[in-house]
Structure 1
Amino acid sequence: MIEDNLKRLGIVLPIPPKPAGSYVPVVVSGNLAFVSGQIPIQDGKVMFTGRVPTEKSIQEAQQAARLCAINILAQLKANLGSLERITRILRVSGFVNSDAGFSEQPKIINAASDFLFEIFGESGKHSRIAIGASSLPLNSTVEIDMIAEISTG
């Protein structure tokens, strides 16, 4: 079902990006999968860099957030073997490289949340934070991490 929804949207999950530091991309503990922060990397390159709204528009940042969510799914598939093991998206934490005074981070992270709702349906509804940051790794425009509930069998 999840894979079918991705196909319907024309999304092919990439080979997941390698960690940019001393951490692992996914940690599974019991029936929870914790996905480390993902930035908008495609084909080994950060596709969206800079601060919102002076260097990147809200629309570009939304594209970055969606790409972060795609990379999260790629990490989960690589680590779990199948996205069908995901039973519920529990938590999404979104960070936006923002100018001081910018307060529309939720509008940007909505792009990732809406994408997850479209892929997972009711199981994609999650708790969330959307935070402005003065900088992010590799000058990325957005970084998102996630906690998912998974089947253990």
Structure 2
Amino acid sequence: MSPWRASAAALAPDVALAELGLALSEAELPAATHVPAVRAGTLVFTSGQLPIREGELLATGRVGDTLGVADGQACAQWCAINALSAIRSEIGDLGQVKRIVKVVAYVASGPLFTDQALVANGASELLGKVFGEVGRHARSAVGVSALPLDAPVELELVVQI
């Protein structure tokens, strides 16, 4: 079954999230000297988002070592939820999103792990369920040796508004 809804106009993103049992929180201010999201013309770029839920990392470690692909996918999904929270805090309403342009997923993994794309699917599938065709995007899935706070996944989004 395809993760893409047939029509982005059928449901508002917040309604689609609610139907999935998900709700966005307020974007948390980063501990460092940057902001969660920046608007540049009709594009919004998020800072790297970690898989934080209710103030705690969902998991720590590297996918393929201490975590499985399904764990990584769940983390990628929460990264996407946090990125959407950052976007909403910047633009006020996810209904303004005309297109998910690009997803960049960084996956902490060992040198022999090569399924970063499968991990990134956790985010891509969520975006398809929330935005339908508007959620189709270009994507990079990059393996890295470590991420901040020992997070297994970090995600960036670029959206057009």
User: What TM-score does the superposition give when structure 1 sets the normalisation length?
Assistant: 0.95
CA distance in 1, matches of 2:83, 2:141: 16
CA RMSD, aligned part only?
Answer: 0.9
Identity %: 38
Can you list the C-alpha shifts for 1:116-146, whole angstroms capped at 9, x where unaligned? 0111000000000000000001110000001
CA distance in 1, matches of 2:100, 2:16: 16
CA distance in 2, matches of 1:92, 1:113: 8
Q: Could you tell me whether the CA contact under 8 Å between 1:17 and 1:41 is conserved in 2? A: no
Q: Does residue 10 of the first structure (1) align with residue 10 of the second (2)?
A: no
Residue matched to 2:110: 99
Gaps of 5+ in 2: 1-11
Q: CA deviation at 1:20?
A: 3.2
Residue matched to 1:46: 57
Q: CA deviation at 1:17?
A: 2.6
Q: CA deviation at 1:18?
A: 2.2
Can you list the C-alpha shifts for 1:41-78, whole angstroms capped at 9, x where unaligned? 11111122100111111111110000000001111111
Matched positions, count: 150
Q: Which amino acid aligns with 1:92?
A: V
Q: 1:5-84 alignment to 2 at 5 Å?
A: 5-84=16-95
User: What TM-score does the superposition give when structure 2 sets the normalisation length?
Assistant: 0.90
Q: Could you tell me whether the CA contact under 8 Å between 1:40 and 1:140 is conserved in 2? A: yes
**SS of residue in 2 equivalent to 1:38:** coil
CA distance in 2, matches of 1:20, 1:41: 13
Gaps of 5+ in 1: none
Greater shift after overlay, 11-20 or 113-122? 11-20
Q: Which amino acid aligns with 1:115?
A: L
Larger strand proportion of the pair: 1
